[in-house]
Structure 1
């Protein structure tokens, strides 16, 4: 196993920069997820780590060795792709053992390693089948088994669950997390799904437009987003954003553009009169008979929770209630806000100002 370091890594395609100076330090045995919207550069960064893309500037280290000019086969990494990349004419066992066969490993060693990997992933009864005889989840486990057999220093996952249905994605998330806990191998995982990132990662790297917006543990990013982008990207439903300013006479009151007055526990660096964005997660809004009036727009009962969209502060706001709510679109309800969980952001820079 080994740690991974990205040191001022840059990548350009012609005159177009796509990675704009990335610094990431991944500890030995850590599960790190690169997350961000399509086109943010996360897959390009993973491909540079794998040796599938050249680096324009900066350096990448694996286990302390600079690998910029090192071919992929010498980096001691194993990659699991989105599309499985299994050989259709080979059995599951042969697919899993293929890299060892290329290295000239004796058959006894290949069989032994395949057996261990198959036992870990619950594949012993499928070893004689061909990929066409497997489900999507089984094919993904075979692709993971092929990586495990190599016993690499670093596992790389490039959106491995994108082709699976919702229920299977949930199951596979748990399997990959359990696999990492058993093997404790350094893992770098790319996804655009922030739910995957929150539930699986030891550390999340949020990327946007070729730069790193924030690095931290999942709950750290959720509770203390560095800026508007991270606040809006992490969390489902997304954080509510309301434009306005602090009351000049009372900095614990935020005045939305439509005049709605909202509570603030700690305004931090925010100044009275400054253009701000009021950030509030849906779960910190509650029903309160003496609260702020809001018009119901949409109600979405999910069983355990009720999701609701209301008109608040001049725009639509998402709410998540644990209780069953008796209301209909067009009605007015009263809402309370837990001011301790309010975030204030600079409207121009996007930086979080509240503590």
Structure 2
């Protein structure tokens, strides 16, 4: 049983604070992803977990034991770096077994562990090659194999796929997911790519400026973002935001923006009106309807499986994604309607969620 607990962890460089009291618990066998924009502190937090950075205050516990003062080699964690960090003069097999060699593990056991890791990662035919003879994806698998042979309590991944091309990143995501399903090792994974976070994680930790904005299962964070930052960061294409007011109408609460974008909810919401809010709606939650709000088509992008249409109404620019084929050209008018049950409402001043979606805001 290997669980990891981060309690009120802070990190400062002199008077400059970069991590501001983070609390996160990762259960045994869980795959947790730290995600956020560049500079938000996620790699610093990972390095503190690994023991490569000192902690200014707080505690990190592994299976109940405080590891703050333990050296990296004594924490029983294995880290996979962004740049692979392979020794160019060693073969694949030697790279994978090196940490065991310097720990004076018996040669027979090293060979057994290396063969096992090579079988898991389909590296058997490559064991005698050198890193220069490998592709980027193969080098990353070797780096993962070097971690596997140590049989650690915790795997740590620091943006391991950022140097790979788009197609290879997708393939490697699948391999990492399958590896975790096979080994069930507690894993902390850092990325700035929210698609990676959504597809890999059991638990997402969304960070900004050294603070945790939200923690939860991927779909919970996607469906119930706590604030405007999380709502805009998680999801691709990103959520649309429209500033406006909630007002009381004859048929219930109505959202209305300065550009004339209106959404009637068909009932009274449990909020005080009038109230300035930010309405959030994901691109896939628009429909093209005859009685929708008229907008001007700006750009049309087709991917085959979907059509992405950028539209404008006054100062509001929106992205709509349709699964059906939408025949629209720039300059034409497209009438769109958001699905009321998929709407998010945030306070205009604080950016915090105004009302839970209760399965929906629909009547």
Cα distance, 1:277 vs structure 2: 0.2
* Structure 1 unmatched ranges of 5 or more: none
Q: Is the counterpart of residue 123 in structure 1 residue 123 in structure 2?
A: yes
Cα distance, 1:314 vs structure 2: 3.1
The equivalences for 1:37-186 within 5 A come to 37-186=37-186
Q: Is the Cα contact below 8 Å between 2:259 and 2:316 reproduced in 1? A: no
In structure 2, distance between residues paired with 1:20 and 1:288: 47
Cα distance, 1:300 vs structure 2: 0.4
Compare 131-140 and 312-321 and name the one that shifted more: 312-321
The equivalences for 1:332-343 within 5 A come to 332-343=333-344
Instruction: Specify the alignment match of 1:347 in structure 2.
Output: 348
Q: 1:98 to 1:281 in 2, by over 3 A?
A: same
Q: 1:30 to 1:266 in 2, by over 3 A?
A: farther
Q: Is the counterpart of residue 276 in structure 1 residue 277 in structure 2?
A: yes
Q: Is the counterpart of residue 190 in structure 1 residue 190 in structure 2?
A: yes
The equivalences for 1:248-259 within 5 A come to 248-249=248-249, 252-259=253-260
Cα distance, 1:268 vs structure 2: 5.1
Q: Is the Cα contact below 8 Å between 1:270 and 1:344 reproduced in 2? A: no
Cα distance, 1:62 vs structure 2: 0.9
Question: Once the two structures are superposed, what CA deviation does each residue of 1:78-130 show, in whole Å capped at 9, x if it has no partner?
Answer: 00000000000000000000000011011100000000000000000000000
Cα distance, 1:324 vs structure 2: 1.4
The equivalences for 1:18-33 within 5 A come to 18-33=18-33
Instruction: Specify the alignment match of 2:296 in structure 1.
Output: 295
Compare 10-19 and 313-322 and name the one that shifted more: 313-322
* Structure 2 unmatched ranges of 5 or more: 357-363
The equivalences for 1:318-329 within 5 A come to 318-329=319-330
After TM superposition, the score normalised by the length of structure 2 is 0.96
Q: Is the Cα contact below 8 Å between 2:253 and 2:267 reproduced in 1? A: yes
Instruction: Specify the alignment match of 2:331 in structure 1.
Output: 330
In structure 1, distance between residues paired with 2:272 and 2:266: 14
SS in 2 for 1:241: strand
Q: 1:285 to 1:313 in 2, by over 3 A?
A: farther
Q: Is the Cα contact below 8 Å between 2:253 and 2:269 reproduced in 1? A: no
Question: Once the two structures are superposed, what CA deviation does each residue of 1:166-194 show, in whole Å capped at 9, x if it has no partner?
Answer: 00000000000000000000000000000
The CA RMSD measured in Å over matched residues stands at 1.2
Question: Once the two structures are superposed, what CA deviation does each residue of 1:216-238 show, in whole Å capped at 9, x if it has no partner?
Answer: 00000010000001000000000
Q: Is the counterpart of residue 314 in structure 1 residue 306 in structure 2?
A: no
SS in 1 for 2:275: coil
Cα distance, 1:43 vs structure 2: 0.3
After TM superposition, the score normalised by the length of structure 1 is 0.98
In structure 2, distance between residues paired with 1:128 and 1:205: 39
Aligned length: 355
